[in-house]
Structure 1
Amino acid sequence: MSSSRTDRIKTTRRLIIVGRVSLAAGGFVLLKSLGNKLGLDVLEMSPLFSALVAASVFLLGFLLNGVLSDYKESEKLPGELASALFLLAMEVKAVSIHTPGAQVQDDLEAIRDLGSSTLRWIKGEIITDQVMSSYELTYAHMVKASTWLAHSSLKGQLMIEMAAIMRCLNRIEVIRETDFAAMVYLLAYSAASILCAGLALIKTDTTSFYNNSFFLFSLAWLLIFILHLISDLDNPFGFSDMASAEDVDLTILESTQIKLEKIC
């Protein structure tokens, strides 16, 4: 995927996200208008309101700090995968130098196919079982390639690179499937909902209705947007999710795949 196309997709997804957040925030303003007409705005402004705001901000800050640290770690994984794949290909190519006459073309093609499968898997185009099947096939080819080496340390290096690839694949799978502190997520969503609903049901007179509606919309928009951002950052490999716009950069992995094609 070209850089310009990737940027266009991200921009489109961000615009969709902003639209959805605005609609959700507008829903609380509509709730306030409905409550005002039906006489459901029975709550009074209380000093406890500031405590609820502080609790919500604390929870959001805790979540955001946690997912950002995981996101920073995830940014390294495409580079580590690209390095392992490229070094593996170069080492297999060197087998024919260590052992003249060694046939390693099929082994190089297996590495190329593994790189392609890995890239497609990260983008959500194939399932985990498929990329693991490709890995197992490549591992068998590496064992075959190592038989051409007698006492070279390169034999062990092939297995080291394969182990590095497996660690990266497993780490990506864990990040995808694991939510950061699910109970804290529940608390944050609950606190934000209670806060916005409470603001929608606070008593207001006619002169302050529009003023309060504006601040309700602004606060709800910010809270919902931050919650969506946290959820998005929690899965940096959500390329197949149209609601995900903040994913790790795969440029290094894509350029490495082009190099693998040339090597083969």
Structure 2
Amino acid sequence: MLIKVSTLVLAIGLVKLVAHQLGWEWMRPNPLVTSLVASTVFLMGFLLNGVLGDFKESEKLPGEIATSLETLGLEIQAIPSHNPVAQVGNHLWAVAELGDSILEWLLNRIPTAELLRRYQQTHGQVVQASVKLGIPPLQARLMAETAQVLKLINRVEAIRETSFITLVYWLATAGIVLLSGSLIFTVTDVLQESIFFIIVITFLLVFLLRLIADIDNPFGHADANSAEDVSIDLLVATVLRLKVMAAGARG
């Protein structure tokens, strides 16, 4: 992202140089340019405030999914304590595979429809495990944790598919374009200073807009251009523990 923004900003600086050399500077210095800068910065602040709130909430979701999966695994692992003849290895493995599927989904390797199909299969395994448990309050806990996983999956999907006020993005982009254009075609006496300020202002604004767009999708792990994504390391570690747990139960 930094390379792309730097290339664009240098191109704008080059356009300013060409405009100066060819005499295309037809605008006189105007204090209204300051108002244009202020309005663009205000839109940026509005966008940043909105997406940061969602990003902070999104940071919690992988950990909450990991907690629900591991709690589900521990509850199933404890079933033989209540029913010594119960075999729970396959049920534990189903929970571990669901965790694997969620990781694949976050990396855009499988679609949401496929993840939900696998969730339904795991739900069936959990139902079978709860039958072996045979204690209604504990059965209810198993099903509640299973429902919590689905709730979190749907929350992640909603965040991924929802963009924060597209119109404001367009307004901020238009503000940057108009500001850059006004600076390029404004008459200047000292070319070096003018190019310096154009590069600095456009770099900060364009980079911030790209960063906001990146933060707006905190689950863009499969996008090579995405620099700011929530960590899924805890979920990865949880899935590994669930696999070890399932392997032990299978003997």
Aligned residues: 246
Q: Aligned pair 1:246/2:225, yes or no?
A: no
SS at match of 1:46: coil
SS at match of 2:108: coil
What is the rounded CA distance, in whole Å, between the counterparts of 1:132 and 1:197 in structure 2?
49
After superposition, what is the alpha-carbon deviation per residue over 1:102-140, rounded to whole angstroms, capped at 9, x for unaligned? 122211111010001111211222221221111111001
After superposition, what is the alpha-carbon deviation per residue over 1:234-253, rounded to whole angstroms, capped at 9, x for unaligned? 11111111111111111211
SS at match of 1:25: helix
Contact 1:92/1:104 (<8 A) preserved: yes
What is the rounded CA distance, in whole Å, between the counterparts of 1:151 and 1:177 in structure 2?
40
What is the correspondence of 1:229-240 to structure 2 with a 5 Å cutoff?
Answer: 229-240=211-222
SS at match of 2:102: helix
Per the TM alignment, residue 18 of structure 1 is displaced from its structure 2 partner at its CA by 1.3
Match of 1:201 in 2: 185
What is the rounded CA distance, in whole Å, between the counterparts of 1:161 and 1:34 in structure 2?
64
SS at match of 2:191: helix
How does the TM-score come out when normalised to structure 2?
0.95
Q: Aligned pair 1:70/2:54, yes or no?
A: yes
Per the TM alignment, residue 38 of structure 1 is displaced from its structure 2 partner at its CA by 3.0
Contact 1:99/1:148 (<8 A) preserved: yes
How does the TM-score come out when normalised to structure 1?
0.90
Q: Aligned pair 1:181/2:199, yes or no?
A: no
Letter matched to residue 95 of structure 2: I
Q: Relative to structure 2, which stretch is displaced further, 30-39 or 186-195? A: 30-39
Q: Aligned Cα RMSD in Å?
A: 1.1
Q: Give the one of 70, 73, 79 matched to 1:86.
A: 70
What is the correspondence of 1:96-245 to structure 2 with a 5 Å cutoff?
Answer: 96-205=80-189, 208-245=190-227
Match of 1:3 in 2: none
Per the TM alignment, residue 99 of structure 1 is displaced from its structure 2 partner at its CA by 1.6
Contact 1:28/1:197 (<8 A) preserved: no
Per the TM alignment, residue 86 of structure 1 is displaced from its structure 2 partner at its CA by 0.2
What is the rounded CA distance, in whole Å, between the counterparts of 1:225 and 1:87 in structure 2?
41
What is the rounded CA distance, in whole Å, between the counterparts of 1:131 and 1:152 in structure 2?
28
Match of 1:262 in 2: 244
Match of 1:8 in 2: none
SS at match of 2:78: helix
Letter matched to residue 218 of structure 1: V
What is the rounded CA distance, in whole Å, between the counterparts of 1:112 and 1:72 in structure 2?
27
